[in-house]
Amino acid sequence: MSNYISTFENPFKPGAGHTPPYLAGRNLEIQEFEKLLKQNTILKNLIISGLRGIGKTVLLESLKPVARKDNWLWAGTDCAESVSVSEETMAMRILTDIALITSNIKIGTIAKNEIGFGDDKKTSDVYLNYSYLVAYFAEIPGFISDKLKATLEMVWQHLETLQTIKGFVFAYDEAQTLSDHSEDKQYPLSLLLDVFTYIQKKNIPFILVLTGLPMLLANLVETRTYSERLFHVVMLEKLTKEESKMAILKPVEMSQHPLRFNENAVEEIAQQSGGYPFFIQYICREVFDVFLQQLSAGQELSIPMDAIIQKLDSDFFSGRWAKATERERDLLTLIANSGKTKFKVHEIVSLSEGGKVKSFGRSQVSQMFKRLIAAGLLYRDSNGNYSFAVPLLEKYILRVQDKNY
């Protein structure tokens, strides 16, 4: 029996952006995107926001076939910090993304100059490829924003002649890395917002979809105050208990794997995962691998949850925890013990007074929070509240604390 079971693949796929076999609890978000695609004039773009491990990248990938089915072109990539080094790098990123989709679209012919005799004229086909886009961009006078606006208008003039195309979705993951650099007089994020605002006012159906950590909208608003009006924000929350159970059970059912979780196993996995899709996938994959080993050894099936959590700590949390200094870890431990999910600087200062570690001053906490945001451990929302940017980080911190005592 164990040899037969070992021929089946593990149905769970934890990983950064790996699409799970079953997408649980995101139907409403997909419906919201479908509504945006039906806009006659693009008034709202989309932001998908949430903590790491909540499924932003997976949802973004799930929206791609939805757009394509409705005859929208789709281009996009991860927003590495290099994308927003300068206005030109941002413009080239957009042109590159367009070219990957349009390079096989013929837009005309040109005469070829050849040395010879006779009246025969040679022609060459012209395509909407990267070389053409960059050349067109370079010929436009003015600032980079002027060049990009004119190039995008030209692209749509050709695309709208193709009756089957409704519009173009530009999708960028990890968009919280985008920023302006006033010290270098480079404003790539402002460029992105300005160009899409202009294009949409021209009634060109280009939609911007951004995903990122919860500070993304605050970053956009800080860059351009009108940004809040440009976007419909979808804040991904952890799965409900019922949705978590479906995320656990459905992949097994769909793969027709002979191994099945009993009710107690489902309950324990749902509880330990906290409803976060990545943790569900991670724990379920580990449990399946353990079950296979236990079957091979003729043992009774059981879940060594302590060992799995220890492995999760090593694989997921420890690297992030290592980014904090010893003093910052003291601060984060203080917050984790407080039980607060949202907190302000003055609240943490008050908490530190009379504690076991040296108290923190207001300016000190403010500076630490800035560094911890840069390290991806905290985020600040538009109301000035701070929260952990990594799901279940507070539980990990408490586990580390217990080991140290």
Task: Give the confidence band of 345 by pLDDT, cuts at 50, 70, 90.
Answer: very high
pLDDT at 190: 95
Per-residue model confidence (pLDDT) at position 74: 97
More reliable by pLDDT, 225 or 234:
234
pLDDT given at position 21: 73
For the chain, give the percent of residues with pLDDT over 90. 65
> Mean pLDDT across the chain, nearest whole number?
89
pLDDT of 138 reads 97
Residue 217 vs residue 355, higher pLDDT: 217
pLDDT score recorded for residue 16: 63
pLDDT at 17: 58
pLDDT of 149 higher than 90: yes
Cβ–Cβ < 8 Å for 388, 394: yes
Is the pLDDT score of 36 beyond 70? yes
Percentage of the chain exceeding pLDDT 70: 94
CA distances from 175 to 109, 180, 192 (A): 38, 13, 11
Q: Which residues of 215-224 are buried (b: 16+ CB within 10 A; e: fewer)?
A: bbbbbbbebb
Rounded CA-CA distance 297/195 in Å is: 62
Query: What pLDDT shows up at residue 243?
Result: 94
- DSSP secondary structure letters along 158-188: HHTTSTT--EEEEEEESGGG---BGGGTB-H
With 60 as the cut, is the pLDDT of residue 33 above it? yes
Average pLDDT value for residue range 27-51: 95
pLDDT at 114: 55
Residues 366-388 pLDDT 10s: 999 999 998 989 998 878 899 99
Domains of the chain: 2-17+240-303 (no CATH), 27-107+133-235 (3.40.50.300), 322-404 (1.10.10.10)
- 120: confidence class by pLDDT, cuts 50, 70, 90: low
Q: Which of 77-91, 137-151, 273-287 has the lowest mean pLDDT?
A: 77-91
pLDDT at 246 over 90: yes
Note the pLDDT of residue 86: 94
Is residue 233 within a helix (H) or strand (E), and if so which, with residue range?
strand 231-235
Residue 12: name the closest of 292, 225, 205, 302 by CA: 292
pTM: 0.85
Residue 291 confidence (pLDDT) above 90: no
Taking only the tens place, the pLDDT of each residue in 175-218 is 998 999 988 899 999 999 999 999 999 999 999 999 998 888 88
Average pLDDT over residues 2-25: 70
Closest CA to 207 of 377, 17, 39: 39
As given in the structure block, the two tokens for residue 225 are: 């105050």
pLDDT-derived band at 80 (thresholds 50, 70, 90) equals confident
